[in-house]
Amino acid sequence: MAKLLKSPYFWTGILLFSLVTLYSYHKEKQVEKDASLKIEKMVQSVCISNIGTFKTLLLHQVEQMKLLRDASHHSQKELQRTFDYVAQKNDLMQKISITDWKKNDTNYLMRPICNDTLMCIRISVPLGDQSPGNKALTLEIPLSTLHREIAENKSFSYAYLTLSYRDIYIFHPDESKIGQPVEPSNRFNPATDKEKSITEVFSDYLSIPVDRYYEQIDMGGETWTFTANVPGISFKELVTNTHSAFVYMTLFTSIAFIVIFLLGILHWQKEFLKRQQIQEEKINLELKNEYQKQQALATELEQLKSGLNPHFLFNSLSSLKILVSKQPEEAKNFAVSLSNLYRYLLKQEKCDSIFLRDELEFTQNYIYLQQIRFANRIKVKIDVDKNCLDKKVPPIALQLLVENCIKHTKMSYQQPLEVEIYTDSDYLTVKNNYNPSESTSSSGKGLENLTKRYSHLTTRPCAFYIEKNEFIARIPLL
C-alpha cells in the first residue's frame, strides 16, 4: 500500500477523476439552473396564454354587446330578430335584455351574481343617446354555460384555470365548486403571493404539486382574479436530461480513471515482484541464519546437558555408595530421586518449555541429592505461588540456577549456602547469600546460554545481579 501511494499513476488518476467530477458537477448544476429558468418561462407563457384566452372570451361578449347596441335604433321587432340570430350563433348570449343604467365612469359593467336563484356573469353596455332615459343593454351569462363553453374549448391546454371574484369561485374545472368560497390555501394573498410569477404549491383538485400563476385583471369596473395551474411533473423530464448527462460524464471519468489506474498497477506490479523476489531471498537468508543459530543453541544445550550429567552422576554414585553401607533405607530414596531426575532429563530433551510444577519437582529431586552430599551445608526455602505452577519455563532452567548457587558459593557448617526460591510479578527468583568460592572460577556460559534460550521465547529479559550481599537471578514465567 505504501508503494501504491507513491505511484505517480495513482495520483494522476485521482487528480483527473477529481477534476472531471468537479467540472461535471458544476456543469450539471449550471444546466439544471438554465433548464429551471426555461421551464419557469415556459410555464409562465402557458399560463399567460390560457388566461389571455379566458379574458378574450369574456371581452368578446362585451364587443358583441356593443355591436348590438349600435343596432338598437331599429324597431323592436328587428332588434328581437337580431337578438335571436346572435343567440343561435353564440350559446353565451342567450339571455339579452334592456335594463336601467346608472351613470358610471366605465363604458360597460361586468359583475357576477351568485345567489340561490341566479348564478351568472352580468354584462351591461349603456345605450346612451340612442335610447330615451338611462337604459343599458344587459347580457346574463349562466356560469354553467360558461363552464361548458370553456370545457369544450380546445384552446385551453396544459393548464387548468380558475376565476374568482372577492374569493368566490366564478369558474372552476370542478363545476360543484362554482359559487363556493375559495379555499384559504388557494386564495391570492398579496402579502405572501407575488402576482404574475410562478409559485410551487400543492393542488387539492389534482392532488399533485403544481406551478401556479396568479393575475388580477380589471374588467367592467371590477377586479377579477385569474389562476392558471400547470402540473409540475409535466416539465420535470426536461431536468432529468441534465442528470443523465452528469451520470454519463461521471461514468466516462470513472472508466478513464480505472484504465490509468490499471496501467499504473501493472507497472507497479512488475517493480513490486522484483523487489519481492529480492526480499524473499533476504528473508530466506535470514531464516537460514536463524536456523543455524537455533541449531547452535540446541547444540550448546545438549553439550551442557551431556557435560553436566556425567560429572553430576559420578558425584551422585559416590554418595550412593556411602549410603548403601551406612544408611540402606536412605540409599533407596536417593536411588529413586536420582532415577526420577534422569527420567525427567530424557523426557524433556526435545521440549522448549515445561510447566513450572514439573520443573520444580525436578529441581527438588536435584536439591535432595545435593543435600545428601553436602549434609547441612545447604539450606533451601521454596515459596512458590500455586497460581504460578501452571506457567512455564525452559527445561532445567531452575535446576541450572540452583546448580549455579552450589557450584560458585563457598559453604561450610558455620556459613551454609542459603537458597530461596519464590515467585514475584510473573518472575521466578532464585536468591542466595553471596559468598563466592575462591577455587571455582565462573565463565558465565550457563547464564548466557539461559538468556539466549529465553530470547527465542519472550521479549521479557532475564536479570542477574548482586544486591545487599546476595546474588539474585530472575527469569520470566511464560
3-state secondary structure the chain: CHHHHCCHHHHHHHHHHHHHHHHHHHHHHHHHHHHHHHHHHHHHHHHHHHHHHHHHHHHHHHHHHHHHHHCCCCCHHHHHHHHHHHHHHCHHHCCEEEEECCCCCCCCEEEEEECCCCEEEEEEEECHHHCCCCEEEEEEEEHHHHHHHHHHCCCCCCCEEEEEECCEEEECCCHHHCCCECCHHHCCCCCCCCCCCEEEEEECCCCEEEEEEEEEEEECCEEEEEEEEEEHHHCHHHHHHHHHHHHHHHHHHHHHHHHHHHHHHHHHHHHHHHHHHHHHHHHHHHHHHHHHHHHHHHHHHHHHHHHHHHHHHHHHHHHHHHHHHHCHHHHHHHHHHHHHHHHHHHHCCCCCCEEHHHHHHHHHHHHHHHHHHHHHHEEEEEECCHHHCCCEECCCHHHHHHHHHHHCECCCCCCCEEEEEEECCCEEEEEEECCECCCCCCCCHHHHHHHHHHHCCCCCCCEEEEECCEEEEEEECC
Both 210 and 71 in one domain: the answer is yes
- The pLDDT of residue 226 is 92
Of residues 213 and 242, the one with the higher pLDDT is 213
- The pLDDT of residue 131 is 52
Q: Distance of alpha carbon 298 from its chain centroid, rounded?
A: 54
Both 224 and 333 in one domain: the answer is no
- The pLDDT of residue 428 is 95
- The pLDDT of residue 306 is 42
Confidence of residue 284 (pLDDT cuts 50, 70, 90): confident
Both 224 and 113 in one domain: the answer is yes
106 in any annotated domain: yes
pLDDT tens, position by position, 314-335: 667 777 767 777 777 878 888 8
- The pLDDT of residue 225 is 92
- The pLDDT of residue 392 is 93
Both 332 and 206 in one domain: the answer is no
pLDDT tens, position by position, 63-78: 888 888 776 666 667 7
Domain tally, the chain: 2
Both 47 and 160 in one domain: the answer is yes
Both 465 and 336 in one domain: the answer is yes
Q: Percentage of the chain surpassing pLDDT 90?
A: 19
Both 29 and 164 in one domain: the answer is yes
- The pLDDT of residue 327 is 79
pLDDT tens, position by position, 366-392: 888 888 888 789 999 999 999 999 999
Residue 28 has pLDDT above 60, yes or no: yes
- The pLDDT of residue 285 is 84
Q: Which of 212, 237, 262 is the endpoint of a domain? A: 237
Of residues 302 and 448, the one with the higher pLDDT is 448
Q: What angle do CA 388, 390, 393 make, to 5 degrees?
A: 85
Confidence of residue 465 (pLDDT cuts 50, 70, 90): very high
318 in any annotated domain: no
CATH number at residue 351: 3.30.565.10
Both 223 and 350 in one domain: the answer is no
Both 33 and 148 in one domain: the answer is yes
Q: Which of 52-56, 204-208, 255-259, 276-280 has the lowest mean pLDDT?
A: 255-259
- The pLDDT of residue 310 is 62
221 in any annotated domain: yes
pTM of the model: 0.46
- The pLDDT of residue 73 is 65
426 in any annotated domain: yes
**How many Å apart are CA 445 and CA 332, to the nearest integer?**
34
Both 231 and 339 in one domain: the answer is no
Residue 80 has pLDDT above 70, yes or no: yes
- Number of C-beta neighbours around residue 218 at 10 A: 10
Both 89 and 188 in one domain: the answer is yes
- The pLDDT of residue 307 is 40
- Residue type for 393, please? V
3-state secondary structure 119-130: EEEEEEEECHHH
Residue 279 has pLDDT above 80, yes or no: yes
Q: Which of 199, 215, 237 is the endpoint of a domain? A: 237
440 in any annotated domain: yes
286 in any annotated domain: no
Confidence of residue 466 (pLDDT cuts 50, 70, 90): very high
**How many Å apart are CA 242 and CA 245, to the nearest integer?**
5
303 in any annotated domain: no
13 in any annotated domain: yes
Residue 271 has pLDDT above 70, yes or no: yes
pLDDT tens, position by position, 127-184: 865 555 688 888 999 999 889 888 888 777 778 899 999 999 999 999 889 989 999 8
Q: Which of 177, 209, 237 is the endpoint of a domain? A: 237
Grid coordinates standing for 454? 529465553
Provide the terminal-to-terminal Cα distance of the chain, rounded to the nearest Å. 36
Give the pLDDT mean for 450-472.
Answer: 89
**Mean pLDDT across the chain:** 81
pLDDT tens, position by position, 295-311: 666 655 554 444 445 66
* Phi, psi angles (nearest 5°) of residue 98: -105, 125
Q: With CA atoms as reference, report the closest residue to 475 among 368, 389, 367, 392.
A: 392
Residue 431 has pLDDT above 90, yes or no: yes
Give the pLDDT mean for 108-118.
Answer: 88
Q: Domain range holding 382? A: 327-476
Both 336 and 199 in one domain: the answer is no
